[in-house]
Structure 1
């Protein structure tokens, strides 16, 4: 099974993290991608949440962030944590992943 958790609102991170944890402990093998765009990329300023996201990555979750959103919030790619994968346009990445069989979920 393949799932994309899409987040574009900063305040939704706790819900997305809980959904990811629930998925990881479901007993099923799931390829899980969290794709952040819009205001959600501002999570990069929250060190506690970034520690949690790193733990999710270590448990096999992939974190992708939209370059355009990062630029609009003045984040420089070289300053991002190494576990964050940058994609050029978040919406295109969402569509691409869906063509690859990922199910779209927006908590």
Structure 2
């Protein structure tokens, strides 16, 4: 199975919860996972900044093999560059385009 988590939450605690849910999924031995991805878009982009309070959670997910992609449109709106993101974060021209592509490739969509 493949799963994509949409990280779009406005509230910092909700973003932290979404990351925890993603971590729980990677540690759930009852689920046979081929891939887990996270797409950060809108206010969710705050969680993948290198100065975010949850940056260690993001790094842990990357270490676990989770693919994390930031929306370039959102980054542009917030004057962010790749240097502002946690190392290892990929970018996509649009978050919604990345979500559409992943779902077309068979990823289950989760929005905690």
1:26-105 residue pairs with structure 2 within 5 A? 26-27=28-29, 28-30=31-33, 31-43=35-47, 44=49, 46-105=51-110
Which segments of structure 1 move beyond 3 Å, counting only runs of 4 or more?
A: 45-48
Distance 2:22 2:44 in 1: 16
TM-score, normalised by the number of residues in structure 1: 0.90
Task: Provide the C-alpha distance between the structure 2 equivalents of 1:70 and 1:86, rounded to a whole number of angstroms.
Answer: 9
Q: Is the 8 A contact 2:69 2:91 kept in 1?
A: yes
Rounded Cα–Cα distance in structure 1 between residues aligned with 2:42 and 2:87: 20
Q: 2:22 & 2:46 partners in 1: Cα distance? A: 19
Segment of structure 1 superposing worse, 43-52 or 85-94: 43-52
Unpaired runs of 5+ residues, structure 1, are: none
Cα root mean square deviation, aligned: 1.5
Q: Are residues 1:14 and 2:38 paired?
A: no
Deviation at 1:78, TM superposition (A): 3.6
SS at match of 2:28: coil
Q: Which has the higher helix share?
A: 1
